[in-house]
């Protein structure tokens, strides 16, 4: 039986797909996860076999670079020892600096290395590791900045999303209720913009539409300020940090306003929830914009540039979207088409084929 290790950490965009891969493979392989402290918040330790291993961020503070280089070398040694001690023979690297030492160690040990790239832009760690990898799993075969000489390593797959998402009834509304339900999921990147600017936009919308708001808020200090603002208005709302059961009733949401993390927009797409994407403008290589562009090109979403947002204009666009309806339901029908092309079994078969051919 193959012993598979998934190296992941950092944001939910790295960790959540790794849990889905774990669920796909756990019945037929001996599988485990290594992650860092940032990744733990997304892992239910009663369901997943994982180990905590910290890896320093080399460039977090440049004056600490010499010390971090030493720590990084030590993390490569620890990774080497972990892989050897646990007799791992297949490594799936989810990208990000946390997985880098394990990828290097796998090369020394001649362990099969498979990379994972959910974004439409090749990540920097994956770009460094593509030469020593066997394959790279991706959703978009036309990855930006991908070296052509390694094109045969691309292994295209439908978005890998949580199993529970497939079991949720898709949003099948063909008309709006009196109350328009808006979901706001900003993630951890650029959360201040979502907490401040979008809160003001919601307050303006509430004066013209009957709405209910479900809003992700990361900072506790911002949460109390938003509650104070919303309590003075006549609409229902729910504020949350991370809620793994958020989509249990997808019919609760008419529209999502979101960053363009690959996992978030893949799940919204699967549930046929039209979304306005506001890519994080400081994301490396502008990958969030390119993630959303894939959906915009097939008329499934709207993209708004954060740097050019005018609050009054944005407010009016959302109101118009609900009032005119045609563009909204066209995008919803297009989401349904691509949602029907994805299933747990389709992804499962693709993953098994990949593992068994290496």
Task: DSSP for 313-336, please give it.
Answer: HHHHHHHHHHHH-HHHHHHHHHHH
Alpha-carbon span 103 to 350, nearest angstrom: 22
Alpha-carbon span 7 to 104, nearest angstrom: 12
C-alpha distances (whole Å) from 249 to each of 143, 197, 348 are 33, 27, 25
CA–CA–CA angle 166, 24, 108 (5° rounding):
140
Q: What pLDDT is stored for residue 187 in this prediction?
A: 65
| Structural domains for the chain | 3-161+343-357 (3.40.50.2000), 166-339 (3.40.50.2000)
Helix (H) or strand (E) holding 137: strand 135-138
- Residues in the chain, how many? 358
Q: What pLDDT is stored for residue 353 in this prediction?
A: 96
- Answer yes or no: are the C-beta atoms of 170 and 271 closer than 8 Å: yes
Q: What pLDDT is stored for residue 138 in this prediction?
A: 96
Using a cut of 0.85, tell me whether the model's pTM lies above it: yes
Instruction: Report mean pLDDT in 10-residue bins for the chain, 358 residues.
Output: 92 89 96 90 84 78 76 91 97 92 96 96 94 96 94 96 88 84 79 86 95 87 88 90 70 89 93 94 87 96 92 95 94 95 96 92
Task: Order across the sheet with 30-35: list the strands.
Answer: 50-52, 30-35, 3-7, 90-93, 112-117, 135-138, 154-156
Q: What pLDDT is stored for residue 127 in this prediction?
A: 94
- Answer yes or no: are the C-beta atoms of 2 and 89 closer than 8 Å: yes
Alpha-carbon span 138 to 154, nearest angstrom: 7
Alpha-carbon span 184 to 182, nearest angstrom: 7
Q: What pLDDT is stored for residue 60 in this prediction?
A: 67
Assigned token pair, 288: 């969030």
Residues 6+ apart with CB under 8 A from 170: 250, 270, 271, 272, 336, 339
Alpha-carbon span 284 to 288, nearest angstrom: 8
- Answer yes or no: are the C-beta atoms of 259 and 291 closer than 8 Å: no
Q: What pLDDT is stored for residue 190 in this prediction?
A: 59
Q: What pLDDT is stored for residue 221 in this prediction?
A: 75
- Answer yes or no: are the C-beta atoms of 204 and 312 closer than 8 Å: yes
Residues 6+ apart with CB under 8 A from 291: 119, 120, 260, 261, 262, 265, 277, 279
CA-based max dimension of the chain: 63
Q: What pLDDT is stored for residue 188 in this prediction?
A: 63
Angle between helices 100-108 and 65-85 (to 10 degrees): 50
């Amino acid at each position: 039986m193959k012993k598979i290790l998934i190296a992941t950490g950092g944001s939910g965009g790295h960790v959540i797909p790794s849990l889905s891969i774990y669920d796909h493979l756990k019945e037929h392989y001996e599988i485990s996860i290594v992650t860092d402290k940032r990744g733990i918040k997304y892992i239910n330790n009663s369901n997943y076999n994982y180990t905590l291993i910290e890896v320093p961020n080399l460039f977090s503070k440049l004056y600490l670079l010499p010390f971090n280089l030493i720590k990084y070398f030590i993390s490569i040694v620890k990774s080497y020892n972990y892989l050897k001690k646990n007799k791992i023979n297949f490594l799936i690297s989810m990208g990000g600096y946390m997985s880098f030492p394990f990828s290097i160690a796998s090369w020394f040990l001649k362990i099969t290395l498979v990379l994972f790239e959910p974004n439409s832009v090749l990540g920097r760690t994956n770009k460094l590791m593509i030469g020593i990898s066997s394959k790279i799993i991706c959703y978009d075969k036309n990855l930006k900045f991908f070296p052509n000489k390694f094109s045969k390593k691309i292994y295209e797959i439908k978005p890998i999303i949580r199993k529970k998402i497939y079991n949720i009834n898709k949003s099948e509304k063909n008309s709006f209720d009196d109350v328009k339900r808006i979901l706001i999921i900003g993630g951890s990147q650029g959360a201040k913009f979502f907490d401040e600017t979008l809160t003001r936009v919601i307050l303006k919308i509430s004066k013209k539409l009957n709405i209910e708001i479900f809003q992700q808020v990361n900072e506790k200090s911002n949460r109390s300020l938003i509650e104070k603002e919303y309590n003075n208005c006549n609409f229902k709302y729910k504020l949350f940090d991370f809620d793994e059961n958020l989509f249990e009733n997808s019919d609760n949401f008419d529209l999502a306003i979101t960053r363009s993390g690959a996992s978030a927009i893949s799940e919204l797409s699967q549930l046929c929830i039209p979304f306005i994407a506001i890519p994080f403008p400081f994301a490396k290589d502008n990958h969030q914009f390119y993630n959303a562009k894939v959906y915009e090109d097939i008329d499934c979403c709207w993209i708004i540039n954060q740097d050019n947002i005018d609050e009054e204009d944005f407010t009016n666009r959302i109101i118009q979207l609900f009032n005119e309806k045609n563009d909204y339901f066209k995008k919803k029908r297009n989401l349904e088409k691509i949602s029907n092309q994805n299933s747990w079994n389709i992804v499962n078969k693709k993953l098994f084929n990949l593992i068994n051919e290496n």
